[in-house]
Amino acid sequence: MKDMVEYFVSQGYVRGESIRAAPYDFRFAPHSQVEYFNELKNLIEDTSRRNNNKPVSIVSHSMGGLFGLHFLQSQDKDWLDRYISRFIPMNCPWIGATLQLITYASGYNMDISVISPLVIREEQRSYETGVYLLPNPHKWENLDQVLVHTPHRNYTVRNYPTFFNDIGYPQGQAMMDDVVNITRLEHPGVKTTCIYSVGVPTPVGLEYSDGFPDTQPTRIKGDGDGSVTVNSLAYCSRFLNNPGDRSMVFRGLDHGQILKTTEVLEFIKSQLVI
């Protein structure tokens, strides 16, 4: 968020007063972060008080959109009306990301060649948010879409129990069952601007050789932001239908670039309470 913060400081916002951060532990799903959400609520109330009791806008990126949605749905209407102006999630994997399947099958080193994916695989498999971000078996539009191709078996969202067994991590199914429906993909109860980018080649499927799951796959590409496919990014249109809601689509920006692009930052500023 460095570029975003610097942009808004240049526009007159003040660090620690009118622009504030709320980082969370990315390893744990929302139901394991009760203390964090209590602190977030206190931070929002304090920020409002510091700024003439104006309501606050929440700007999030990636999985932060799911965390933000979960938080807002946990508050009562009076509190939302008093303290929240707008929710602005960017490039959120609303119904998951196909790329996340690499983490469980073979480890994902984010294409950093000096890091062995197999070395970090066990740690990555232990994160609650790993299964939280897998393609959602209840929301994925094409339940028969093959997400993982191997010489011996193909896997769709219908095949998670078999997938987890075949990669030697059967406990993954129990982890998924524990988190898959934590965040309801329903309206957050506040005005929302959903921002996402498309036009970047993005993994829509993984193709493995005979070395599955201990080799890296070929990534079958489709549309999205380079990390999240367009069907997941655009899912917000399914539940954002209240007056004041808006969606904005940018082209050619990858998952991280959306945080650094002046055109996007200027649009976000247009959505904020001055």
Would you please indicate which residues are annotated as catalytic (active-site) residues? 62, 225, 255
Among 175, 176, 189, CA closest to 70: 189
Strands (E), the chain: 56-61, 84-90, 148-149, 154-155, 193-198, 202-207, 218-222, 246-251
Q: How many whole angstroms separate alpha carbon 174 and alpha carbon 116?
A: 27
Q: How many whole angstroms separate alpha carbon 155 and alpha carbon 245?
A: 36
* Cβ neighbours of residue 53 closer than 8 Å, sequence gap 6 or more: none
Among 61, 6, 8, CA closest to 197: 61
Indicate the Cα dihedral angle 130, 133, 135, 136, nearest 10°. Answer: 110
Q: How many whole angstroms separate alpha carbon 106 and alpha carbon 88?
A: 33
Note the Cα 215 to chain centre separation in Å.
Answer: 26
Note whether 106 and 117 are within 8 A (CB).
yes
> What's the angle, vertex CA 1, arms to CA 222 and CA 184, rounded to 5?
60
The residue type at 217: P
* Cβ neighbours of residue 251 closer than 8 Å, sequence gap 6 or more: 197, 198, 199
What's 30's DSSP letter? G
